[in-house]
Amino acid sequence: MIKKCTLLLAFLFVGQSIIAQNNISVEDIYKGSFRTQRLQSLASLNNGTEYLVLNSNRDRSQSIDKYSYLTGEKTATLVSSKEIELPIKDYTLSDDESKMLIITERESIFRRSAYEKVYVYDLNSKQLSLLYDGLVRSPSFSPDASKVAFVLDNNLYYKDLNTLEVVQATNDGVINKLINGVTDWVYEEEFAFVKAYEWSPNGEQIAFLSFDESAVPEFSMDVYGKELYQTQTVFKYPKAGEANAVVNLHLFNLKTGARQQVDLNRDQEFYIARINYSPKGQLTAQVLNRHQNLLDFYNIQPDGTAAIAFTEKDNAYVDVTDDLTFLKDGSFLWTSEKDNRRHIYLYDADGREKRQITSGDWDVTAYYGYDPKSKRIFFQSTEDGSINRGIYSISLKGKSKRKLSSQIGTNSADFSKNFTYFINSFSSATEPPVYTLRRAKDGNIEREILNNNDLKLKLQNYQWSKKEFSTIDINGNDLNMWMMKPLDYDPNQQYPLLMFQYSGPGSQQVSNSWYGANDFWHSMLANEGYIIVCVDGRGTGYKGADFKKITQKELGKYEVEDQIAAAKKLGMRKDIDKDRIGIWGWSYGGFMSSNCILKGNDTFSTAIAVAPVTNWRFYDTIYTERYMTTPQENPSGYDENSPINHVDKLKGNYLLIHGSADDNVHVQNTMLMIEALVQANKQFDWAIYPDKNHGIYGGYTRIHLFNMMTDFIKEKL
């Protein structure tokens, strides 16, 4: 009798604990209840044993503080906002660590660019001085910290910090016409850089790019604000097949004040995707043809003479990276996909390949650099499987490879400048991020810096579904997949299926890493009676270049075929209702979900598309033409795979969402999709978020958006 009572009490206790668990809500997610603790951005000092952090303090002041890698203890405060009586938004340390640029005001322009108010702070004298009376762009110290270059009104300047003289290096810059020293919109977005100039190592020369935008069509966006009349943002945006800015490389000599254009001896359109100086003063430039399937690596002499050191070609496209390190003898390290996987190579100073350093049926996914003292290269790779990331080092001869991470999941590394230590960030689909300090020579842990055990405890009070990883055989490929099921899953019950994907070239959504906001939303839906699935189809990354580049000239063909086939195969399971299959995605994922409900109208009953491309003719040159060439050359590739041309196929429930101030995927995509659907006499739902960009956030925007999407799914699926 006593045993029976004990069992009954245990059952009642377990039952009460389950009842006490709450399902996750949209408000929980987007108010940050499950936000992970992360390390603040740090900057390693030259000694490799200390680093700097910009701290926001409890009294709302800011300070730039120095810490020991080994102990984690603060060793000094370099400067505080109280001391200089100005806010500190960001900072840049000079190479010799004698001075600092302090940013006190910032006005965002696009994704990576901003106007900034900048001060120069001398760490020895503790003197603060204004760089320039106004907001400037992309300031940077000369190598000896005696000068600061910056861009103002599309012209390149520098200030001599000893004489306080400000020198205007260019005078032909005009807004929306010609840019010097910073990139245009499409370079910033697609080649991922803004500062388009570099100091030579001796500080006597500045190499910079100019962009003649005269022939580039203008794009305008209404900004509604709260005033009686809306305003407009007007900027140059080259859409696929249209005129690009004409880019040129220039050299500015600080001693003579002379500006010289470098003759690259090219007679067709090109992009200059990167410029770099070697420590010995050799200027290099990575130049792509407009199709981006040919990359020429140039060596450029101080007098402006340019010669191609080597060329990399691909039948589809050549990816541009920052994986470049020069060695003392002028040779350099470089990554390439030329053997179908991204690996590290050593080239001599003349551009001849000396050896392939890494090899195998896996990809180098991050290149961290080279330590000349130990003669070892540090990198991240998929050697533990395409959904995982590990940290490794290898000798310059391609031997003695060492694994520096210890857990299977997603590991990333932040190395000290002299490669003494690295901070390892680890997470998996079951473990939130943990940060440890490790020795670079062997990966041994010195200390744990930060964990998210409090979040793990908090999640015990919530119902949240875990991802089950597997592969699914689709169209002759084993595609990576994860699935979430309700916690009270019954294999004999049928559930509606919601598929999520992004699917863009080289992307990955199926990874063994900790949950983002979308994952928690998916978990919420799972526990309200849905099975959630994500499949990375052909065209996604980390399964070789051939797998990734199969979608060339046909964006939206093979990816859509794979999602439709996966949905059909999943619909054959006894626990999934094949008549209630939905799909959603954002940006490229919205393009995909739109195509899926149209081309797969007998498979998908519901779709949500957030900020989608609906016609590849509306998107920018660099991204679109990299994968599609131009619409003039490939009209069928553009038209047959753009959702706007298939609206007559709509049968199911379709929700279309966009921000009106999206400078990336313009709301034009959704507006013209709406018109096409109306003229096809198709009923659908739609929402426009005024003055919101591609991320659609701010205030309660995300909560409103995801509640709307939740309600749509519950009603329609």
What structural domains does the chain harbor?
A: 323-451 (2.120.10.30), 455-716 (3.40.50.1820)
| Pair 91, 102: CB distance under 8 Å | yes
Residues taking part in catalysis: 587, 662, 694
Residue-wise burial string across 676-686, b where 16 or more C-beta atoms lie within 10 A, e elsewhere = bbeeeeeebee
How confident is the model over 206-230, as pLDDT tens digits? Answer: 999 999 999 999 999 999 999 999 9
Predicted local confidence at residue 421, as pLDDT: 96
Predicted local confidence at residue 40, as pLDDT: 83
Tell the residue number behind the tokens 């006894």, with chain if given.
574
* 18: CB partners within 8 A, 6+ apart: none
Tokens of 639: 């038209």
Closest CA to 95 of 43, 58, 130: 43
Grouping H, G, I as helix, E, B as strand and the rest as coil, residue 551 is helix
Please report the beta strands in 440-494, taking only residues with DSSP state E, as ranges in sequence order. 445-450, 462-463, 468-474, 477-484
* 47: CB partners within 8 A, 6+ apart: 417, 418
Tokens of 291: 């199709």
3-state secondary structure 137-204: EEEEECCCCCEEEEEECCEEEEEECCCCCEEECCCCCECCCEEECECCHHHHHHCCCCECEEECCCCC
Predicted local confidence at residue 20, as pLDDT: 53
| Pair 326, 279: CB distance under 8 Å | yes
Strand-strand pairing, 147-152 and 155-160 = antiparallel
| pTM, to two decimals | 0.94
Grouping H, G, I as helix, E, B as strand and the rest as coil, residue 278 is coil
CA triple 279-207-321, angle to 5 deg = 65
User: CA–CA separation, 616 vs 561, rounded Å?
Assistant: 18
Local structure of residue 541 (DSSP, 8 states): S
429, HSE (Cβ side, Cα atoms, 13 Å): 18
Grouping H, G, I as helix, E, B as strand and the rest as coil, residue 616 is helix
For residue 433, count other CB atoms closer than 10 A to its CB.
21
User: CA–CA separation, 51 vs 69, rounded Å?
Assistant: 7
| Residues forming beta bridges with residue 115, ordered by sequence position | 107
User: CA–CA separation, 381 vs 469, rounded Å?
Assistant: 19
User: CA–CA separation, 644 vs 657, rounded Å?
Assistant: 15
Predicted local confidence at residue 408, as pLDDT: 98
Instruction: Name the burial class of residue 611, with classes exposed (0-12), middle (13-18) and buried (19+) by CB atoms within 10 angstroms of its CB.
Output: buried
Closest CA to 93 of 151, 160, 41: 41
User: CA–CA separation, 511 vs 409, rounded Å?
Assistant: 8
Low-confidence ranges of the chain (pLDDT < 70): 1-20
500, HSE (Cβ side, Cα atoms, 13 Å): 22
Closest CA to 209 of 271, 160, 162, 253: 271
User: CA–CA separation, 649 vs 406, rounded Å?
Assistant: 51
For residue 482, count other CB atoms closer than 10 A to its CB.
23
569 membership: H or E segment, kind and range = helix 558-571
Where on the phi/psi map is residue 70: left (φ > 0), alpha (ψ -120 to 50), or beta? alpha
User: CA–CA separation, 78 vs 497, rounded Å?
Assistant: 55
Closest CA to 661 of 184, 112, 175, 110: 110
